[in-house]
A = this chain, B = another copy of it.
Amino acid sequence: MTYPTKTFNLPVLEGLSEKQIQVHLALYEGYVKHTNLIVEKINALKASDADGNAYLIAELRRRFGFEFDGIRMHEYYFEQFEGGATASDINSALAAAVAQKYENQGLEAHIREVAGSRGIGWVVAYADPRGNTLHTVFVNDHELGQLAGLPVMLALDLWEHAFMVDYVPAEKKNYIDAFFANLNWSVVEKRFEDAMKMSAA
């Protein structure tokens, strides 16, 4: 199988320059390219000498999580801007779950708090159909610390490449402001609803 490079229908963004987005999309394309390269190389190594190449194949497969998560996390990221910024819906299923989990703090403030974690990676909010709740964590790189089995609802990229065309690291807060200024909350709310259908199964 071949992983496709998706095209995102992005509006003009506030506080994120066109060059910043171009640089970022080029990196996204690198994850697609290298995920496909892993698949291609594993197939070739298996076809030529599966036993003799077993260690090589295993190490390529160990790296699959980095590249594959590099694709998916960027898909989650860019799709959140499609359709343009919309406010969150206080009557959504997500709003109810957030009120129960984060009480007065709210989800945006909670994500801003988690974004203060040191290092590069992502703030990820997940739907948890099994626990009937949501979780927000900091994931290092793309693949270190992902919550097992949980659909991703919101992904805030905190790699330096996500903002350093427009900001220096000391201005990370401005980048996070820009992220929320452009966020289409209805995308997030729909992901939550879709994910929670699994619990009824």
Contacts and interface: CB of A to CB of B under 8 A. Distances in A.
Nearest to A60: B59
Given A161-B164, A164-B164, A69 B118 contact: no
Contacts of A142: 148
Interface stretch (A8-16, A82-90, A130-138, A179-187): A130-138
Contacts of A131: 1, 3
B62 A56 contact: no
Interface string A79-105: 000000000000000000000010000
A168 B168 CA distance: 13
Interface residues of A, number: 72
Given A62-B138, A169-B161, A170-B26, A147 B145 contact: no
A116 interface: yes
A146 interface: yes
28 contacts: A23-B168, A26-B169, A30-B118, A34-B55, A41-B55, A54-B113, A54-B116, A56-B60, A58-B116, A59-B60, A61-B137, A64-B145, A65-B146, A69-B148, A76-B149, A124-B148, A141-B141, A143-B145, A143-B148, A144-B145, A146-B146, A149-B150, A151-B151, A159-B160, A165-B168, A197-B197, A197-B198, A198-B198
Q: Which 9 residue pairs spanning A and B have beta carbons closest together?
A: A65-B145, A194-B201, A160-B160, A164-B164, A149-B152, A146-B146, A58-B117, A69-B148, A72-B148
A140 interface: yes
Nearest to A132: B1
Contact of A141 (B119, B147, B164): B119
